[in-house]
Amino acid sequence: MRHVGGARRGLDMWLLQRASAIYMAAFLAVFLVLFLAAGPMDFMAWRGLFVPTAMKVGSLLFVAALLAHAWIGLREIFIDYVHFLVLRLGLYLAFGTLYLGCLVWTVDILWSVK
Amino acid sequence: MTSRINRQRPFFLNLMAIRLPIGGIVSILHRASGAGLSLAVPVLLFLFSRSVRSPYYYDRVTGIFSHGLGWLIGLGLLWALLHHFLAGLRHLGFDFGLGESTEKARQTAWLAFGLAIALVSLVALASLMGGGA
């Protein structure tokens, strides 16, 4: 069966999986420092973390990286275990739609923190 | 392509009899933890949206993870995140040609496996001492 998409697709995915992993690791390290520096955690301190625009943008990029990473990872799993092509493409689309929805939702969540 | 693959290749999948080396165990757990985390993302996003809404919802969300089944699920997710993170760092190392010898690869596999469990145990212990669960 011919693959759907170009021959370079696998390499693009491989690269994006690494790039998103590196961004997430870096963001989590910064976030952990800010989280610990915020002192004893309560609602105001937790919410306060997400007030600066830089934090909103950084968090949104983190979620975008996370969703891309999760989708590519699930794609690997589907390629290994779901051999019925229509079902596999259906799963790609279902998770792609779910995750795109999550990304838009994240914008709403983050920018509602004022 | 397809015709060159040996269709008569040996097929052995007795899960009770397979003895996976540590690298194989860390690898399958990397996949399993990744799958679990991927499915948890929408739920975690929902909980996050609640947690920044009001003090009431913040307490509700932190309350879910403070005792009983929620406490266990929280620790499970934390383990999945730590294992996936550490096993992922190991893979990034391989990409840059670090620790590729059999001996080093086994050592880092044990390290990722053990460190994830040790850190989760620490968090579990700390939450128990702090009056959680």
d(CA A64, CA B82): 20
Cβ-nearest to A46 among B34, B41, B58:
B58
d(CA B122, CA B116): 10
Predicted TM-score (pTM) of this structure: 0.89
Cβ-nearest to A66 among B35, B41, B52:
B41
Span A6-47, pLDDT tens digits: 666 788 899 999 999 999 999 999 999 999 999 899 999 999
- Closest-CA distance of chain B to residue A66, Å: 9
Count the Cβ atoms, other than its own, within 10 Å of residue B84.
24
Contact A43 B48 (CB under 8 A): no
Q: Which H helix or E strand runs over B16?
A: none
Contact A113, A47 (CB under 8 A): yes
ipTM of the complex: 0.90
Span B2-49, pLDDT tens digits: 556 666 777 777 777 778 899 999 999 999 999 999 999 999 999 999
SS3 content of chain B, % helix, strand, coil (to 5): 75, 0, 25
d(CA A28, CA B115): 18
In angstroms, the Cα distances linking A91 to A69, A79, A88, A98, B79 are 16, 11, 5, 10, 26
